Amino acid sequence: MHRRLATGLAASALAVITVAATATSATAAPADKPQVLSSWTQTSASSHNAWTAARANQAAWSAYQFDWTTDYCSSSPDNPFGFPFATSCARHDFGYRNYKAAGSFSANKARLDSAFYEDLKRVCNGYGGASKAACNSTAWTYYQAVRAFG
């Protein structure tokens, strides 16, 4: 009797462990999460555009458990002198928050800051003359701030 009870309890325990392990793996992020994160945090316009499209459809990426929260340009203006830097700041926040969560922030910080600067310069490319010069100067200031304090 004790042997049957012990065998039954062991089988039940094994079943519970199997169900728990399956439930845990079902909620885990997909294995390619680091590659997706990397592809969205490069300096290229195509990387920026892919991230922007994903941000607009976050539900499609919910299995990846990305942190999409942002405070935009933190304590700096989101649109300094009318230049719309908010989206660039949001992508920068995305990179910082998700690489910190992955435990690989320091290895990626320089690239994230460079991607931020490239994003800001792409905003500035929409201007001409003195406005473009002022935008580029402001972008450089924002970039230097994140390099030093980000």
Q: Which of 41, 91, 92, 115 is catalytic?
A: 92
Q: Amino acid identity, residue 21?
A: A
Q: How far apart are CA 9 and CA 11, in angstroms?
A: 5
CB-facing half-sphere around the CA of 110: CA atoms within 13 A = 1
Q: How far apart are CA 126 and CA 107, in angstroms?
A: 32
Q: How far apart are CA 85 and CA 13, in angstroms?
A: 55
Q: Mind giving me the DSSP string for 17-63?
A: HHHHHHHHHHHSPPTTHHHHHHHTSSSSHHHHHHHHHHHHTGGGGGG
Is 92 an annotated catalytic residue?
Answer: yes
Q: Which residues are the active-site residues?
A: 92
